Homo-oligomer: A and B are copies of this chain.
Amino acid sequence: MDQLESIKEFNGYLKRFTHYSKTCNSKMTFSIFLPPKAIHKKVPAIYWLSGLTCSDENARVKSGAQRFAAELGLAIIFPDTSPRGENIPDAKDRYDLGIGAGFYLNATQTPWSKYFQMYNYIVYELPSLIEEYFPILKSFKSITGHSMGGHGALICALKNPQIFRSASAFAPICNPINSQWGKNCFTEYLGNNKSDWYDYDATCLVNNGFKIDNILIDQGLSDDFYHEKQLLPENFIEVCNKMNQPLTFRFQEGYDHSYHFISTFIEDHIKFHASFLNK
């Protein structure tokens, strides 16, 4: 593991590393914020999954999450959104496929499957690395994210309630098998057999009985992607009601899809996770 940066912030440290990922067969980059409390003892961790076109850098610069993580004694891990590099397959004319668009799934189709194993990377390989090298408590993890990363947070948590104590999301892609982004990518990464898609769709997972105790979602009502039906939160709300999946879903009047929306509500999300992690 190579350290690229270590920056003092809110009396803690924001660090950036590259490491070779066996899961993704390539170098991966991540950032981690260690709160001041981590100098003396192990702390719980929140995983932040970013959206399309993002890297590990967007949220650490724009979300404002570290202020509250420092106060509450939580680490935040910011993974990248896909493998990247010259040898990694990509769709250069598209922002919603390939590099920057890993969709937090395990690809099964050529040429993606050798590298795009983001689900296994986020759920298994990265936490195991993090818990080996940093003062992070093993069984105190939560997960959150934005847009494609909100989708990632929901599916990772729903499929692993024994690993993640809580999940939250900002404007998540709630039902990718019915959105244009999801259909395009799932066809490329998973093939044409739609039944293979259900495993990576939060709405399908809840419908199939997957469950997690604590979910908080914020969705702006002036979000263009919401109006373009890329996010489809109503489908998720409906299935949560049907299946008695606990859900706090807040529509936020006037807010868009940007980090300005995220920075407005990040305090609530960090405090939500802290209420389950700091027990």
Q: In the complex, which residues of chain B have a beta carbon less than 8 angstroms from the beta carbon of A254?
A: 8
Q: Are A9 and B261 in contact (CB under 8 A)?
A: yes
Q: In the complex, which residues of chain B have a beta carbon less than 8 angstroms from the beta carbon of A255?
A: 8
Q: Are A264 and B11 in contact (CB under 8 A)?
A: yes
Using A9-B264, A10-B264, A254-B8 as known contacts, say yes or no to A259 and B67 having CB atoms under 8 A apart. Answer: no
Asked if A250 is at the interface (CB within 8 A of a chain B CB), the reply is no
Most-contacted residue by chain B among A9, A10, A220, A258 (CB, 10 A):
A9
A14 CA to B255 CA, complexed, in Å:
11
Asked if A91 is at the interface (CB within 8 A of a chain B CB), the reply is no
Q: Are A259 and B61 in contact (CB under 8 A)?
A: yes
Q: Are B260 and A14 in contact (CB under 8 A)?
A: yes
Asked if A243 is at the interface (CB within 8 A of a chain B CB), the reply is no
What are 22 A-B interface contacts by the 8 Å CB criterion?
A7-B258, A7-B260, A8-B222, A8-B254, A8-B255, A8-B261, A8-B264, A9-B260, A9-B261, A9-B263, A9-B264, A10-B263, A14-B260, A61-B61, A61-B62, A61-B259, A62-B62, A64-B64, A64-B67, A64-B263, A66-B263, A67-B263
